[in-house]
Amino acid sequence: MQKEKILVIGASGQIGVELTLALRKIYGNANVIASDMREENDLLKGSGPYVSLDVMNKEMLHVQVIRQNITQIYLLAAILSATGEKNPGLAWNLNMQGLLNVLDIAREEKLTKVYWPSSIAVFGPTSPKENCPQQTIIEPITVYGISKYAGEFWCNYFHNRFGVDVRSLRYPGLISYKSAPGGGTTDYAIEIFHEALEEKKYECFLNEGTYLPMMYMPDAIKATIELMEAPAEKISVRTSYNISGMSFSPKEIAAEIQKHIPDFTITYKPDYRQNIANSWPQSIDDSTARSDWGWSHEYDLPRMTEDMLKNLQQQ
């Protein structure tokens, strides 16, 4: 069997840190190379190799892939929904060209697998709000959503046309305590924990009744690894799989936190991110992922809240 050598691009980000550490446990520290444009995240230091890399520089990326004998790439570098609306051109360039660079190199170097995440942001106001299905009307209104939807079809194209084994998940909003979030509309659900512990109050940039699909990071890492380890014949979706964990509103997560911190209070001051949130579904139907490769989530809102508070307090 071929020994896998993995390159994680965007390894210092919210998902990258935890995914790199999880992959190192499975494949061995030396076989998972972390890379990013920014400095190595403190949590990665000493746990394995790190290279400074800009995914937009295709030549340098190609050199690294050859030099390090890379067999798999996990591409996590992207600009997320809220930051993307501030600079749509930059978001489109990075989210599209970064992916095309990786797919091209994967084809040329015959990499065994590529992972690239999509998002619930592909859905728009015309998609069903409740239990949004795998296949439905998809008319995103953010540049981030447009780039993810186009990216899904590039993945599908490279798989069908060139046989690149590229796999993808439409992550919901991800909640974690290890590394900071990178500018998404769902980031309030992380900020709220920090503010609850530090200030006992939080001003939310979404209104109280805004339900969004969310997932705790351990479930997202589990989904990613399970998808990547599934036999190719089980992967029927070559655009990107819906996956789901929980759905809640700011009012509901605040009430859950109040069970642990009774004097915590929340106020609401919606900004431009409310419009983005309003365009997304409130919950996701992930039955295709469940039946294709056996996906199931573990964390609901109470369990996630307890774990977040416990770990942030220890930090």
Residues forming the site for ligand SER (CB under 6 A): 80-81, 119-121, 144, 173, 184-186
Residue 212, both tokens? 């969004």
> Does position 250 bind ligand NAD by CB under 6 A?
no
The span from the CA of 141 to the CA of 81, in Å, is 10
Cβ nearer to ligand SER, comparing 79 with 237:
79
Query: In this structure, which amino acid lies at residue 68?
Result: Q
Give the three-state DSSP class for 296.
coil
**Total of residues contacting ligand NAD (CB under 6 A):** 28
Give the three-state DSSP class for 105.
helix
Instruction: Give percent helix, percent strand, percent coil of the chain, each to the nearest 5.
Output: 45, 15, 40
Query: In this structure, which amino acid lies at residue 168?
Result: S
Cβ nearer to ligand SER, comparing 48 with 84:
84
Cβ of residue 94: shortest distance to ligand NAD, in angstroms?
6
Q: Which of 70, 80, 221, 237 binds ligand NAD (CB under 6 A)?
A: 80
Catalytically active residues are 144
> Does position 76 bind ligand NAD by CB under 6 A?
yes
Using CB distances below 5 to 8 A depending on partner kind, what does residue 48 bind out of ligand SER, ligand NAD, none?
Answer: none
Residues 33, 47 contacting (CB under 8 angstroms) = no
Q: Which of 5, 7, 16, 240 binds ligand NAD (CB under 6 A)?
A: 16
Stretch of residues binding ligand NAD (CB under 6 A), selected from 22-30, 156-164, 168-176, 203-211: 168-176
* Angle, CA 244 vertex, CA 113 and CA 255 arms, to 5°: 140
Stretch of residues binding ligand NAD (CB under 6 A), selected from 24-32, 159-167, 176-184, 275-283: 176-184
Query: In this structure, which amino acid lies at residue 15?
Result: I
Q: What is the DSSP letter of 68?
A: T
Cβ of residue 172: shortest distance to ligand NAD, in angstroms?
7
Cβ nearer to ligand SER, comparing 27 with 154:
154
Give the three-state DSSP class for 171.
strand
**Closest residue by Cα to residue 167 from 229, 91, 80:** 229
Residue 278, both tokens? 């309003």
Q: What is the DSSP letter of 186?
A: G
> Does position 289 bind ligand NAD by CB under 6 A?
no
Give the three-state DSSP class for 56.
coil
Contact flags string 18-37 toward ligand NAD, x per CB under 6 A? ------------------xx
Strand partners of residue 216: 175
Chain residues that interact with ligand NAD, rule: CB under 6 A: 9-10, 12-16, 36-38, 53-56, 76-78, 80, 94, 117, 119, 171, 173-174, 181-182, 184, 186
